[in-house]
Amino acid sequence: MKRYLCLNISEDKKNPLAWRLRYGELDGIPVECWPVEAVEYPKRDARHTIDVFFKQEEEARGVTNGGNLHAEPDQTGRTLAGRRGGSAGTTCATPPAATFR
């Protein structure tokens, strides 16, 4: 976060009252009744995640082999294939992973 977005979120990570650690308190409470901070935290977290990704992609374009993202499509495909098999279960006649690419 600090490297790509110049944001320091360490205080939130150390804060025992931060919402990222307290969503269990909201179990059974409709989202529209949640405190504003509890609603905003996951939105901000998702925004930071995608912003870091875009910065990494931008940085990788300036490197000959794509930097550390050169194998991203292949790794993503394998991960999705593995998760697909794991979530649906597997059978004895499971096709090879290449089938899912």
**pLDDT recorded at residue 88:** 58
Residue 95: pLDDT above 90? Answer: no
Q: What is the DSSP string of the chain?
A: -HHHH----HHHHH-TT-GGG-GGGGTTS-GGGS-HHHHHHHHHHHHHHHHHHHHHHHHHHTSTT-GGGTTHHHHHHHHHHHHHHHHH---TTPPPGGGG-
More confident residue, 22 or 63: 22
The model's pLDDT over 29-64, given as tens digits with 9 standing for 90+, comes to: 999 999 999 999 999 999 999 999 899 888 888 887
Q: Residue 7 — pLDDT band, cuts 50, 70, 90? A: confident
